[in-house]
Each structure stands twice: as C-alpha cells, then as structure tokens.
Amino acid sequence: MTTMSDKQARVESVMRLAPVIPVVIIDDARHAVPMARALVAGGIRAIEVTLRTQAALDAIRAIAAEVEDAVVGVGTVLAAGDLAAAERAGARFAVSPGVSPGLLDAADDSALPLLPGAATASEAMALLERGYRHLKFFPAVPAGGVRLLGAWASPLPQLRFCPTGGIGLASAPDFLALPNVLCVGGSWLTPADRLAAGDWAGIELLAREAAVLKRSV
C-alpha cells in the first residue's frame, strides 16, 4: 500500500514542476490533447482537469494516454467515487476544494495522492493531523489572500500551499513570494474562449508567461 509519506512526496513533486498549475474546465474532450501539448510546450507540465463537465474524465484519459510529458490530475474531487474514477482514467494526482471525513478516508485507501483544500487555520491544522503537509489554499483571494496565507507561515511552518481562486498573472508573483507557497493554481492559462477557438498558440504563450514566474521556495 502506498504510504502517506510517499503520496505527499508525489504531491510535492507535482507542485514543483512549474510555478503555476492550470485549472482547466473543458467542455469538449477533443480539445484535451492539443491543449495539453500547448501547455507542455510552454513549460507547464502539471495540468488539473476539473470534474465540472461531462468531458472531464475523457479528457484526463486522453491526456494520460497521448501527452507523455504532461502530468495530468483531477480537480473538484468531492467524494470517494471521484477519486476512483480519476485513478481509472489515468490521473496522477487529485485536488479538492475542501475536505470531508469520507473523502479523507477514501484518500487514505487510494494510491492517488490528494492535494486537499483548506481556507482556515483550523482546517489546515486538522489536515496536518492527518499527515498532510501540502495543501490547496482555496478560495485564495476571497479567503484572505496574501496577507492571510503569509500570516500562517510562522505558526504552521510544516505546511506548503498551492493558493487557488481569484489569482491571475499579475497577482501570482505576490503569492509565489511567500515562504510557504510552492505554486499557484489558476484558470487564466486555459480561458474558455481560447479553448473553444482551438487557439493552441495563444494557450502556449500564456503558459510561457506563467512558467517563468519566480518563486521563493
């Protein structure tokens, strides 16, 4: 059985692949492979495909099978069934907006590493008790943004975060400058209009801009 330590190491490796993990909402699975290739060409290898559309699992399956350099994960994981379906589709990591006891129990039994969401210090502490050292801070900007996350660095030095929610290219450097942030998540790399238009060159350009962002850790 995969240990929590092993799964946390795998999550950390994903978070360190690039300064930004794109959060993708995909309506047409046929767009998945060219989109992923554009992101990888721009220097972004970790890709979170959210379970917000019917096309999501097919998109994950296609990226896992056809884009060798991509590390595809699943987002908006809410329940045990989501973890199981994503693992079958070939996802290599999972991300949740928050947590529930049932989801954490399922994650304990799954080989798929989970990046769980937390929005308060109490939630972060509860996840720390369960062995999690790498968390998603969500929704980052509405929950308190840079000031709140920076304030956690001293009392919760064991934790590293991927803040997501309301972050764009202009604000990402403020989060990446924090000592407890390894990467940020954002949807600006794969906007709906560019996906619908098949503007893969435009998505590659957005990826290139994100890949060169500086981080402190």
Report the length, in residues, of the chain: 217
Separation CA 157–CA 167 (nearest Å): 23
**Could you tell me where the DSSP H helices lie in 42-144?**
56-66, 80-89, 101-109, 121-129, 140-143
For residue 115, which of 102, 133, 130, 101 has the smallest C-alpha distance? 133
Q: Would you name the residues annotated as active-site residues?
A: 48, 136
Largest CA distance in the chain: 46
Pair 70, 45: CB distance under 8 Å? yes
Residues near 149 by beta carbon (within 8 Å), at least 6 away in sequence: 137, 140, 161, 163, 175, 178, 180, 181
Three-state secondary structure call for residue 201: helix
Pair 209, 186: CB distance under 8 Å? no
Q: Across-strand partners of 203?
A: none
Encoded amino acid at 149, one letter: L
